[in-house]
């Protein structure tokens, strides 16, 4: 070895590092900073046709079958919250990402990063919750990994799950498939997960317990696909980080059309609305873990809505908007008093460590 310094030549970092020399919490918030990180760095580095879809998962043709694959890492704080915990959440999140590809989930992997000092009874409680959620969703945990980091080098436990699913013939779901005239459906009341986390984290009391909506949505999605017909369901998306506003902004950008929401049609529970007002949050940007956005052809909208409402997780489903030729690439909201305003992508982090 000569000791000579080796300089690796290559393109410069595509992120504007004068403005963002370090990663911020907002880069994981699901808003504009996350979008910039993905599109300017990760997509630039790994570009391929499957990744360019910027969907919740990828669909690959393998030996004549269409396999969906998705991965997610769960860093929620606190680990236990009203309506769920990091164990069940790590199943629901990945199962839902597969469902948003129109896939029937088959199997999961589970990888645990544990911090030295984590109480063993807490880990057992999380493990049992993950097991129960997987059994309820009808998926098996078929392989995994365990790593332990030094005390103080983690935050008790992080879990990564990767899921495999099978997409039925004729199902073609993509954010790019929405077109003017399509109808936007929402499977239920929004913002419950984010407010449930915030209430525990900050020790807030709202007069009643607000529980997370964390749940596996593949059964609801299967019912919608069967009722509307696979070709009529253009887009499926679970509005997690960044909420409904960020999810629909991403879809509008992908399909190049506008999306217009009716504020009065969007279901929000009164206690959640009140909590948002106290905390200064817009429910449209608050995370959900058991809700689905479906964009469907107009002639299939009523069938899709009926299927959602017939499912236990979709009783409060509603038609909340339409895809339009006007304002391409933008999300707009028709307010309660009739005004029309742009609902932009969230720029930073409204609620960190939410999933």
- What pLDDT, on the 0 to 100 scale, is given for residue 151? 97
Q: Any idea which residue has 């929401």 for tokens?
A: 261
Of the candidates 198, 222, 207, 196, the one whose C-alpha atom is nearest the C-alpha of residue 294 is 222
DSSP label of 42: I
Q: What is the mean pLDDT of residues 178-187?
A: 98
- What pLDDT, on the 0 to 100 scale, is given for residue 1? 45
pTM of the model: 0.93
269 to 43, 190, 203, 220, 266: CA distances (angstroms): 37, 8, 20, 21, 10
Q: What is the mean pLDDT of residues 212-231?
A: 96
- What pLDDT, on the 0 to 100 scale, is given for residue 2? 47
- Identify which has the larger pLDDT, 317 or 170: 317
- What pLDDT, on the 0 to 100 scale, is given for residue 286? 95
pLDDT tens, residue by residue, 289-309: 999 999 999 999 999 999 999
For residue 83, give every residue at least 6 positions away whose Cβ sits within 8 Å of its Cβ, in sequence order, or none: 192, 193, 196, 211, 212, 213, 214
Cα angle for residues 250, 256, 259 (degrees, 5° grid)? 65
> Phi/psi of residue 263, each to 5°?
-55, -40
- What pLDDT, on the 0 to 100 scale, is given for residue 207? 67
**14 has a pLDDT exceeding 50:** yes
Indicate the average pLDDT of the chain. Answer: 93
Q: What is the mean pLDDT of residues 229-247?
A: 94
**201 has a pLDDT exceeding 90:** no
d(CA 308, CA 267): 14
- What pLDDT, on the 0 to 100 scale, is given for residue 351? 78
d(CA 143, CA 72): 15
């Amino acid at each position: 070895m000569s000791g000579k310094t080796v300089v690796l030549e290559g393109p410069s970092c595509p992120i504007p590092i004068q403005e963002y020399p370090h990663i911020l919490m907002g880069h994981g918030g699901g808003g504009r900073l996350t979008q910039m990180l993905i599109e300017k760095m990760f997509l630039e580095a790994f570009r391929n046709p499957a990744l360019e879809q910027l969907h919740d998962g990828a669909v690959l043709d393998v030996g004549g079958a269409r396999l969906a694959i998705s991965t997610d890492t769960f860093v929620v704080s606190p680990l236990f919250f009203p309506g769920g915990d990091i164990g069940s959440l790590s199943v629901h999140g990945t199962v839902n990402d597969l469902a948003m590809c129109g896939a029937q989930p088959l199997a999961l992997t589970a990888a645990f990063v544990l911090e030295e000092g984590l109480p063993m009874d807490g880990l057992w409680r999380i493990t049992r919750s993950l097991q129960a959620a997987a059994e309820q969703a009808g998926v098996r945990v078929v392989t995994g990994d365990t790593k332990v980091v030094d005390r103080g080098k983690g935050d008790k436990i992080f879990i990564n799950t990767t899921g495999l699913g099978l997409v039925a013939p004729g199902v073609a779901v993509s954010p790019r498939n929405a077109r003017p005239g399509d109808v936007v459906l929402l499977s239920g009341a929004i913002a419950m997960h984010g407010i449930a986390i915030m209430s525990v984290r900050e020790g807030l009391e709202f007069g009643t317990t607000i529980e997370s909506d964390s749940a596996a949505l593949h059964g609801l999605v299967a019912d919608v696909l069967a009722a509307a017909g696979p070709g009529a369901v253009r887009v499926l998306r679970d509005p997690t980080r960044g909420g409904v506003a960020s999810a629909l902004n991403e879809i509008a950008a992908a399909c190049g059309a506008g999306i217009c929401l009716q504020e009065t049609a969007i279901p929000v529970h009164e206690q959640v609305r009140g909590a948002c007002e106290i905390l200064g949050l817009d429910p449209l940007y608050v995370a959900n873990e058991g809700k689905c956005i479906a964009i469907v052809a107009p002639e299939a909208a009523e069938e899709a809505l009926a299927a959602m409402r017939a499912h236990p997780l979709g009783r409060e489903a509603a038609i909340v908007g339409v895809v339009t030729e006007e304002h391409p690439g933008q999300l707009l909201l028709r307010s309660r008093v009739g005004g029309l305003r742009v609902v932009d992508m969230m720029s930073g982090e409204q609620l960190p460590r939410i999933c």
